[in-house]
Every structure is written in C-alpha cells, then in structure tokens.
Amino acid sequence: MITLNYKNVDEKVIGKEHGLNIEKEFSTYKDIIEKIIKDLNQRKDKKGQWLQWMNLGYNEETVWYVKEFAAMVKGQFDNILVLGIGGSALGGIAVTEALLKPYWNLLTPEQRNGMPRIFFLDNIDPDQISGLLEVIDLKRTLVNVITKSGSTAETMSQYMIIKDLMEQQLGDSYRKNIVATTDQQTGILRQLANQEGYKTFVVPDDVGGRFSVFSAVGLLPFALVGIDIEDMMNGVKDMDLALKNTDIHNNIAAQNALIHYLMDTKKGKNLSVMMPYSSRLKYISDWYVQLWAESLGKEEDSNGNKVNCGPTPIKALGATDQHSQIQLYNEGPNDKVINFIRVAEFDKTVEIPHIFDYTGIGYLGGKTINQLINAEADSTRVALLDYKRPTVTITLPRVNAFSVAQLLYMLEVQTAIAGELYNINTFNQPGVEQAKNYTYALMGRAGYEESAKALTEKMTKQ
Ligand code: PA5
C-alpha cells in the first residue's frame, strides 16, 4: 500500500500560526467525512452524478476487450500515436512515463520486447506536428484518437491531418491504422468512426476526461505498449476498498483532502505543490495539476453562491527543482502545502564510484544515487520544516503498475472529497467549455456566429 505521512502539517510540529490541530480537526470533521464517503459510494451508480470513474477498477469487460485488441495487433505497428488533449492525454502520458523503461522510444525493438514506441500529440503546435511526422512512418503507426466529446478542435484537427496523410500513403487500408476512443453514441468522432469503419472503444457515460485514466482512454494505449493493465486494476480495486473506510483516521484520501481544504480556508495556503522525487513520476504532477485545477477551481458553489474557490496546483520535481523552486518555498510567502512523493525502493541501484578524494565531492564515492535522492528528499522536508512550511509525504513502495494505479486513484478520490468539502460541482468545467466555445466561434464553426461577432468586438477593443 502507498502511505501518507501528514505529521508536518500538525501545529505540534510547525506551530500554531501555520499548522493545524490535526487531532481536533479530524474529530470535528469525522462525521462530515463519513457522510461524504458514504454519499459518494451511494451516488456512484446513479446516472448523471459523474461518479462512474469509481467503478472503472471493476470493469473486467473493458480490460478483456482492450487486451484482446492489443494481442491482435501485436507486432503489426512500430509506433502508437495518441491524439488527445487534457483528460484524454494526461493520464496516458503520466502512466507510460512512469511504467515504461526510461527513454522508451530510443530503445531498440529488442530492448522494448518487440513493443512499439509511443507518442502523445497533446498540442497543436505546427512545428511539433511537422517534426513528429518526420520521426514516424505513418504506414507503421497505429493512431488512437481519443476525445469524449468527439469534437474538440485540437484533437479533431490533428486527426484530420493524420487521416488525410494516411489515406494518401495507404489507400483504403488506412482504416486499420486508426482506432477511436469516444462516447458510445454521440459526437462527430463516433459518427465518423461508424462511417469509416474504425475499431472503437468507449469513454463511458458519467466519466469526465480527467477521471478517465482507468477507462479505455488509458487502458488501450497502456496495453498496446505492454503495460500490465490487470495489475493496474488490482491496484485500483485495492485502493478503492481501503478508501471505502469512512473513518478519517484510516482513509488517506480523506486526510489529504481535509488537510488541503483547511490549509486553504483557515490558513490561507491555497497553493498545492506536487513534488515527486522520481523522474518516472514527473508527469503524475501534470496529471494532478489538471485534476485538481479543473475539478476544484469553480466560480459558484452548489447553492449558486459566488465563491471563486480552488487551491492552485503547482508541479515540481525532486531533486531538480530544489535548484529552482525551493528557495521560494522556504523563504517566500508561506502559502503552500507541499506534497512530496517518495519511492521507497527504486528498480535499479546506481553506485557512485570512489574516484576522487576532494573534500567537496569525495564523500559521495561509495554511496548510491538511490541514497542521494532520498537524502535530498529528507533534507528538503526538514529545511521546509525549519521554515514552518507544511508538507505531506506520499510514499510508494516501488514504481510499478499496482502502486501507480493506487496513487492515481487515491488522488481522484481525494479530489472528489475536497470538492464536497468546498461544496462545489467537482465534475463540470464551465471555464474550459467557455474557451472551447470561443475557439469554435473564432474558427468559423456553424452555430457560433453570434459569439464570433461579440468576440471580435471584444478583441478589437483590447
Ligand atoms: O477533463 C476534462 O473533461 C477535459 O480536460 C477534457 O478531457 C478535454 O477538454 C478534452 O475533451 P475531449 O475528450 O472531449 O476531447
């Protein structure tokens, strides 16, 4: 199991001004948390609650279909290219970076056990797209276009570019090189996939993009590059069972949600830093930033009051960002909760050879890089403690499919609980939709003429 250590947010450790009386707060919020957890678990099967992500760990059917497809296409492609943005890409990036061998795309096919390289195109930078097309042979590429709505401008424009090129290069058979993951019934991509005869997978109803990593959105790309998705599902189920515990003393998602909520509302610390001490976990922070920001950044609460709430998530990487952000975290405004992620045991041990006796570096010889990275995590935590900065530490026993899935699911539940504490709708994203609609208007989509006019007027005044 992954663990959470929150003693460095306690006022006994960092003082009354910046710390919380954890014992008292846990007992004050005991019933509220119990009610929230019961309520989430009761509502999760109801339509329209956007809580179907809580059932994804048990979706054996999807696992079966995904594995069957991955086995069928094994050996046929050199590259997997995922087209998607936001929740349709970030989970995929985070998990493949964490679980595939580092520098995967630079390894030989033998080193990759015959598995393909994987690329995510989650932006619409013309230079990047052109660059990627020079790197991959589309004839040997399986494209997985992922969009729940089926109409996101970024993803669908990428799809149109790639589809056109593939058709030119492969003729009619290009259809075998495209697999679509989208809504079961609605959306333009679903319509196109049916017309063109693509293989399809489903983004289930009531699962928002940022909560979709354990649906076919994530599972398909993972299985295509050989990640053990059953191990992942076991991690999710295991964590789900643990987080059904309604007692805050035994529920790490509830603990971290409450800590962040109270630090924001009582102590004015509305920045949440996610700082893994593991390069493989670097993109977990990007995924967390989206999850936390889109879910909790809301204008109105559930009663329609204007609240403009939401702690701002920040990504950092240990030890790298000790040499950039830590100065600010130690001595700048005391307005953050820092989440360290530690790895108890790395897959490899790298020794530092004892080749110099200079006082300044000689001490490193004979130690391991493993010791160094964890010593740096410890020293940064203690330095922050000296400055009375609140930190929590999440520890993963190892970076593997089981524990990474546990971590992601725990953070999803933590977000849902935090949303209930803020009394907001965790699962909508009106602010994102607003920008999407403006883009449609600017790019001349039919039906958006009035918005385009208003927008052009606003822009000329700027
Ligand atoms: O979390 C979300 O809902 C968003 O970030 C979406 O994933 C993102 O906007 C992409 O949407 P779609 O999957 O419809 O293309």
pLDDT reading at 304 higher than 80? yes
Give the ligand 1 atom nearest the CA of 211.
1
Q: What is the mean pLDDT of residues 126-143?
A: 97
The response to whether residue 235 sits with its C-beta less than 6 Å from ligand 1 reads no
pLDDT reading at 461 higher than 80? no
Query: Given this model, what pLDDT does residue 116 score?
Result: 98
The response to whether residue 389 sits with its C-beta less than 6 Å from ligand 1 reads no
- Which pTM does this prediction carry? 0.96
Query: Given this model, what pLDDT does residue 433 score?
Result: 79
Q: Tell me: the pLDDT tens digits for 179-233?
A: 999 999 999 999 999 999 999 999 999 999 999 999 999 999 999 999 999 999 9
pLDDT reading at 255 higher than 80? yes
Best CA proximity match to 343, nearest among 394, 409, 411: 394
59 residue type, one letter = N
Structural domains of the chain sorted by starting position, each given as residue range(s) with its CATH number in brackets: 3-43+233-422 (3.40.50.10490), 52-227 (3.40.50.10490)
The response to whether residue 181 sits with its C-beta less than 6 Å from ligand 1 reads no
Active site residues: 294, 323, 436
Dist. CA 408 → ligand 1 center (Å): 18
More confident residue, 443 or 271: 271
The response to whether residue 182 sits with its C-beta less than 6 Å from ligand 1 reads no
The position carrying tokens 């960092």 is 14
